Homo-oligomer: A and B are copies of this chain.
């Protein structure tokens, strides 16, 4: 692992001819049904892996299955398939806690994690970037999320401390992604005009990961044309009647848009 996460993502997407990141998410299950979650996740992976370049995990599996129990087994399985893993933990705690979170997720094998730049640098995300650099892992920053309420925070107008002028919050986050050397930036596919704006700031230096395709209403073509590099697709695939067929269709559609 002497190559950066960003470079490994590029190489994997090229090898697999896919820029689709599978979000391996399933709805809340009561305790009596939790055992089925692991096999559901495993079967989805086995069906879908030819059409994706990476797998994104979230608390949908971490909380019921345990980081160092079944989740670590799934992470190993993804690596055996020569795909990468992202932990979408949206880190936003104080520095020492963020560092502990990062150490545990990286120890479980994750190649990258997501973090919220709102928490700031000093005693905030600085320790996360330090751990990531030491272990050659990735940090992907949230720049504009895919849900409605994103306008309240990510879309708010702030008084930029550096320029002394009015600016949208997400523009300030895009600049922080550059300044801090993030390995990726998340911008929701439900807001293609924000992808375009953020892409103007990041250029080709930092790839945009775009969630919200399908179930949340985001469209593949508009996200890619606006500058998204990777598409994150979750429930549209995981809850489909035929996950493999759905994933293949999405991958093909995405490849046609290039």
Contacts and interface: CB of A to CB of B under 8 A. Distances in A.
Interface of A: 25, 27-28, 30-31, 34, 58-60, 62-64, 66-69, 88, 90, 92-95, 97, 99-101, 103-105, 107-108, 116-126, 145-153, 156-159, 161, 166, 169, 216
A157 B159 contact: yes
A152 B116 CA distance: 12
Contact of A97 (B31, B58, B125, B156): B58
B152 A100 contact: no
19 contacts: A25-B100, A28-B100, A34-B68, A58-B97, A60-B97, A66-B66, A92-B92, A92-B116, A116-B116, A118-B152, A120-B147, A120-B148, A120-B149, A120-B153, A122-B147, A122-B148, A124-B147, A126-B149, A156-B159
Contacts of A63: 62, 67-68, 100-101, 104-105, 108
Nearest to A188: B94
Contacts of A120: 147-153
A26 to B, nearest CB: 9
B94 A146 contact: yes
A145 B96 CA distance: 13
A216 B97 CA distance: 12
The 10 nearest A-B residue pairs measured at CB = A120-B149, A120-B152, A124-B149, A66-B66, A123-B147, A63-B104, A118-B153, A157-B159, A122-B148, A28-B103
A64 B68 CA distance: 7
Contacts of A93: 58-59, 88, 90
B166 A149 contact: no
Given A63-B101, A68-B31, A90-B92, A161 B156 contact: yes
Contacts of A146: 94
B153 A119 contact: yes
Contacts of A161: 152, 156
A153 B30 CA distance: 36
Given A34-B68, A63-B101, A119-B153, 7 more contacts: A59-B104, A60-B97, A66-B66, A94-B147, A120-B149, A124-B152, A159-B166
Given A67-B64, A122-B147, A123-B147, A107 B159 contact: no
Contact of A68 (B60, B66, B100, B125): B66
